[in-house]
Structure 1
Amino acid sequence: MKKLILSAAIVLGGLSLQAAAPAESISIIKSVNLQDAFTEVGLDAVPAAVKSTVEKSFPGTKLEKAYKNDKNEYKLEISSGDKKYTVFTDASGNIIKK
């Protein structure tokens, strides 16, 4: 009788240990980059304040391309020799960090 009770306790103890085992969880992280849609505009459509800021802040560079979004912000591609840079400004010519 002692062996029956002892074996029942071992079996029930073993089942409770398996029930207490932590479930393995898989976490999925999705990264989404939100970017304002910029459309290309002609260099003559860039405000004078923006052109002035580029000339003062980045002397010796040339404005290659200009893009504008719905928030009236400008994405400017400038170059100095063989190096190319991208600068973001608002319509007043203030440089924006992006």
Structure 2
Amino acid sequence: MKKILFVAVLSLGSLTAFAQEGEEVTQEATEVVVAQDDFTAIETSELPEAVSNAVATNYPSATISKAFVNKKEEYKLEVALEDGTVGTLYADKDGNWIEM
């Protein structure tokens, strides 16, 4: 009788040892926020003279293909160089370069 009781306890103990809870999988939700830069397109002829002069002085081979302005009177300029390189520059209304 002791053997039967011992086997019953041993088998019950071994079954509970293997009855582990499953791994809890947590998923993190990532939210990507795209900042609206609030620039509106303007004609390149509408650029302040200081901004045009800054581009001509610092980038003599560049041509301004597109121009944008925001409420703070900061200008976003899309420029193309003679070698085909395209870039974006930011300047304030006084022709000073700014980081965005």
User: Do they fold alike, i.e. is TM over 0.5?
Assistant: yes
The match for 1:97 is 99
User: What are the equivalent positions in structure 2 for 1:44-59 lying under 5 Å apart?
Assistant: 44-59=45-60
Please identify the structure whose Cα radius of gyration is greater. Answer: 2
Question: Which structure features the higher share of strand residues?
Answer: 1
- Given the alignment of the two structures, is residue 5 of structure 1 paired with residue 6 of structure 2, yes or no? no
User: How many equivalent pairs are there?
Assistant: 95
Q: Which amino acid aligns with 1:56?
A: T
- For residues 13-51 of structure 1, what are the alpha-carbon distances to aligned partners after superposition, in whole Å with 9 as ceiling and x for unaligned? 222xx12x4312223333222131211112232112111
Matching of residues 56-95 of structure 1 within 5 Å: 56-81=57-82, 83=84, 84-95=86-97
Unaligned runs of 5+ in 2: none
2:13 aligned partner, one-letter code: A
After the TM superposition, which parts of structure 1 deviate over 3 Å for at least 4 consecutive aligned residues? none
Q: Structure 1 regions of 5+ residues with no counterpart?
A: none
TM-score, L = length of structure 2: 0.76
Name the aligned partner's letter for residue 6 of structure 1.
L
**AA matched with 1:88:** Y
For normalisation by structure 1, the TM-score amounts to 0.77
Per mean C-alpha deviation after superposition, the further-off stretch among 50-59 and 74-83 is 74-83
